[in-house]
């Protein structure tokens, strides 16, 4: 992949079979929280898509950045102890 200039995530930052370590799970939980905040409910698919797009645009980028920076720490924790703490 390097020879072809293909961007990819190094194996050390992309552990196999440990989805709970990956920050994408937390990202989707955060997005879900924002979309359904204050008891919001979708009346139809179009309104849901509009709401998701709105929430993505309004999302606090510092939270997203923080989620991505915890990956190394989570991987190290699994490597050492084999369990995941709540983050």
CA distance 17 to 20: 9
Give pLDDT, residue 17.
66
Burial of 21 (0-12, 13-18, 19+ CB in 10 A): buried
CA distance 36 to 22: 23
Share the mean pLDDT of the chain.
83
pTM score: 0.62
Q: How does pLDDT run across 27-37, given as a tens digit for each residue?
A: 899 999 999 99
Give pLDDT, residue 16.
62
């Amino acid at each position: 992949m390097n020879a072809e200039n293909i961007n990819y995530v190094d194996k050390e930052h992309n552990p196999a079979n440990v989805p709970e370590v990956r920050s994408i799970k937390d990202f989707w939980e955060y997005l879900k929280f924002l979309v359904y905040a204050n008891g919001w409910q979708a009346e139809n698919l179009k309104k849901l898509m509009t709401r998701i797009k709105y929430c993505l645009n309004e999302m606090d980028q510092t939270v997203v950045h923080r989620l991505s920076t915890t990956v190394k720490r989570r991987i190290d924790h699994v490597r050492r102890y084999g369990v995941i703490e709540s983050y």
